[in-house]
Amino acid sequence: MKLYNTLSRSIEDFKPLDENLVKMYTCGPTVYNYAHIGNLRTYIHEDILEKTLIYLGYPVKRVMNITDVGHLESDADDGEDKMLKGAKRENKTVWEIAQHYTDAFFSDLEKLNIKKADVIGKATDYIDDYIEFIKTLENKGYTYIANGNVYFDITKRDDYTKLSGMDLEQCKTAYRENVSEDLHKKCPQDFVLWFTKSKFDNQAMKWDSPWGVGYPGWHIECSVISLKNLGEQMDIHCGGVDHIPVHHTNEIAQTESYTGKEWVKYWWHGEFLIDNGGKMSKSSGEFLTLSLLEKKGFNPLSYRYYILNSHYRKQLAFSFDSLKSTENAYYKLKNKIKTLKENEDANCKVSDSVNKYINEFKNCLADDLNTANAITVLYNALKSEDLNNTEKLFIVSNFEQVLSLDLLNFDEENGNDVHEDEVKFIEEMIQKRQEAKKNKDFQLADAIRAELLEKGIVLEDTRQGVNWKKRG
């Protein structure tokens, strides 16, 4: 197994600290709103990482946090409290907001066949542990108090920027230009461990502490939740690339100051999903959710398939046209497998011929999670003339341990539930229609569309080509 390590900025051989258990941590959601599909892209790739490790023989224990307190709009202790913002928006308590969007998040994960973490830690369940953690940092001289708040002093860490690789002076300049600077900080990159005074006088979530009634800063929860459930060192810490310069950098500073040890061996980060406006986010007030995709008629697993056809370290441009094309390919793949199942010979056995494809699949995944190439291996197996249908179905079942695309689930109604020979006919007709339009024979083109419509096939012309679906 080879993985890109953000810390070393290189692809490394994966060697767990303990060969009997891979310890893995994934940053969870801030539950003040629905997850957008860019967030979900990261969770899909993290799911593939965990399932790949298990598939390759590594036992895994994965921990994930749920942020239900303390996360401000800016990672650098600036902006409005996200939970409070959600409560104001919907005229609910912060506790109601947290529960509602936690449930919605796990509903999305289930629809996308994303495995739940072994341990899920709510930030509000670890308040006493945060206090003990801060007290230890205080005793070691890593903190200071200003305006009633407890800050971590990043100047005590010579290696503060080792993950981001950023020049600290450039960081300071960028901070001052883009953030309403907290004048109580000794250094702009210092961060709050515990708030007792902030601009949120109506902050609903507050607890007693040695420094006064208040609430924890955001960065502390991942450090403490991981230490409590995975110990002082772990193998893999995951998250989006936007976590690198502030959140994960601060996690490292406080955790390694607390333990005196290197905390994480491999830092894994997924790239952005982008649209015409750039990085997908919730800041505009309107954003793409999985529920919205469903309302537009898309199968959530079509979106998973869309994500698996790209590499996690490359930005992926999203459009509804490209998703529709991917969904057509996904249903065509399922229909091909369904045809194999319907024509399976019960007397056929599985031979060693399948090992070639299984090994190729493993090699693709072990190559820094090259899921696109892994899917190519699946297609190659399905079209192989050297494999019988039973062997092909065996390979699909084997690959599904990682892909999790419900490729062998034929109970649900497919959007394009047609046999392979019908797919071939439809595509031939689409090609004839395209040629007719090219020759300006629009009468023939319309006749082909009408003929397909009579058979229950609806065509949709897009900039990327022609999509089709079977009418309900």
Residue 222 assigned to a binding site: yes
Residue 100 assigned to a binding site: no
Helices (H), 284-319: 290-295, 300-308
Which residues are 143's β-sheet partners? 152
Cα 328–Cα 330–Cα 333 angle in degrees, nearest 5: 110
Please say whether the beta carbons of 31 and 97 come within 8 A.
yes
Supply 227's token pair: 């230490």
Q: How many angstroms separate the Cα of 138 from the Cα of each of 5, 141, 142, 144?
A: 31, 5, 6, 8
Please say whether the beta carbons of 37 and 280 come within 8 A.
yes
Please say whether the beta carbons of 63 and 121 come within 8 A.
yes
Residue 311 assigned to a binding site: no
Residue 247 assigned to a binding site: yes
Residue 282 assigned to a binding site: yes
Q: Which of 91, 232, 249, 245 is nearest to 159 (CA)?
A: 249
Please say whether the beta carbons of 421 and 332 come within 8 A.
no
Supply 457's token pair: 């096939």
Task: Classify the C-alpha dihedral 336-338-339-345 as positive or negative.
Answer: positive
- The tally of CA atoms less than 13 A away on the side-chain side of residue 292 is 9
Q: What are phi and psi of 217, to 5 degrees?
A: -70, 165
Please tell me the distance from the alpha carbon of residue 327 to that of residue 85, in angstroms, as a whole number: 36
Q: Which of 71, 64, 30 is nearest to 250 (CA)?
A: 71
Binding site, by residue number, is 27, 222, 247, 251, 282
**Could you tell me which residues are annotated as the binding site for ATP?**
282
Binding-site members for Zn(2+) are: 27, 222, 247, 251
